[in-house]
Amino acid sequence: MSLRRFYVPPEMVQHPQPEISGSDAVHICRVLRLSAGDAVELFDGLGNGYRARIVSASPKRVQFHIQGTFPLMSESSVHITLAQGILKDRKMDDLIRQLTELGIDRWMPFYAARSIPVPGKKGMGTRLDRWEKIAIEAVKQCRRGRVPCIAPADDFDAMLETSAESDLKIIFWEGAPQAFDIPQSASPKPKTITVAVGPEGGFDPGEVQRAHEHGFLTTGLGPRILRAQTATLAACTLVQYRFGDMGLRD
Ligand code: SAH
C-alpha cells in the first residue's frame, strides 16, 4: 500500500524539523494511529514530494524528519485555467474539488451578467480560504503534486483581460455549433489554455461577443443543454483529453 501523504506548506518544509498541527495532526494520531518512526510522504503543493519519518506525534502537533525528496509526476503537460461563471456556493465547492482532480492549474471565478449570486466581495476571503482547503484535500487524495492557484472572483471583462496571455482560449456556449471542435490550426501545441463556462443562467450574447473579440473560440458540448456543473466537468475533461494528459501523447 502506498504511504500516507500529508500537506506541509512550502515555508515549513525548509524547517529543520517540519511539523503540522490542526486536523491533520488529530487524524494522524487518533484515526491512523501513526507514531514515532512511521514512514509517511509529505508534499508542498509546488510539485515536490518528501519521504519522511514521524519524530513525535500528538494530536496537537506531529513532527517529521525529512529523509529525501522526489518529484511528483502527475501534473498535466498543459496548464488549464478554468474560468467559471459564479454558481451557488455548494456547487463551487464541489467544482473546485472535482477540477483539482481533473488537473486544472488555475481556478478563476467570474461574475457573469446572469450569475445568480451577486457580487458579495465581503464573503470572498472566507470563500478563498475554503476553496484553498478543499483544493489541498483533493490534491492529497488524487496524489497530484500541485495545488491549483485560486483567484478571487472578478467580473467577466476582467477575466477576459487576464486571459490575454493564454495560448488558447475557449468559451463553451450552447449556441455554438454542437460538436466540440477546436481546429488544429488554432494553436497546434498550446501550453496554457483558458476554458470559460457560464453560470446556471448561461452567458448573455453580449458576453459571448466580447469573448470572441478577445480571441476566444466558441464551441459546443453536444446537442443537450448541460447544467453548469456538468458542462464544466465535461469541458475540462475534453480539453485534458485533447491537449493535456488524458489522451495518448504523440
Ligand atoms: N442558458 C442555458 C443554460 C446554460 S448552462 C439555459 O438555461 O437554457 C450553463 C453553462 O454550461 C453555459 O453557459 C455553457 O457555458 C455550458 N453549456 C451547457 N450546455 C452546453 C452545450 N451543449 N454546449 C456548450 N456549452 C454548454
* Domains of the chain, start order: 5-71 (2.40.240.20), 79-243 (3.40.1280.10)
Per-residue pLDDT for 181 more than 80? yes
How deeply is 64 buried, as exposed, middle or buried, from its count of CB atoms within 10 A (0-12, 13-18, 19+)? buried
pLDDT, residue 99, reads 98
| 203 CA closest ligand 1 atom index | 13
Range with the poorest average pLDDT among 38-52, 113-127, 153-167, 224-238:
113-127
Residue nearest to atom 18 of ligand 1 (CA): 226
pLDDT, residue 242, reads 95
| 221 CA closest ligand 1 atom index | 23
Most informative mutation of 174, 180, 232, 237 for ligand 1 (most atoms within 8 A of CB)? 174
| 196 CA closest ligand 1 atom index | 15
CB 107 within 8 A of CB 84: yes
Any long-range contacts for 63-66 (C-beta under 8 Å, 24+ apart)? 63/17, 63/18, 63/19, 64/8, 64/17, 64/18, 64/19, 64/20, 64/40, 65/17, 66/13, 66/18, 66/42
* Summary mean pLDDT of the chain: 94
| 222 CA closest ligand 1 atom index | 22
Residue nearest to atom 9 of ligand 1 (CA): 228
pLDDT tens-digit series, residues 117-144: 665 666 888 899 999 999 999 999 999 9
Most informative mutation of 115, 225, 230 for ligand 1 (most atoms within 8 A of CB)? 225
Tell me the pLDDT band of 248, cut-offs 50, 70 and 90.
confident
Per-residue pLDDT for 184 more than 90? no
Tell which residue, 224, 184, 193, 234, has the closest CA to residue 80: 193
Report residues whose beta carbon is within 6 angstroms of any ligand 1 atom: 172-174, 197-198, 201-203, 220-222, 224-226, 228, 231
The cell for 49 is 514530494
Range with the poorest average pLDDT among 160-164, 167-171, 179-183, 225-229:
179-183
CA–CA separation, 94 and 90 (whole Å): 6
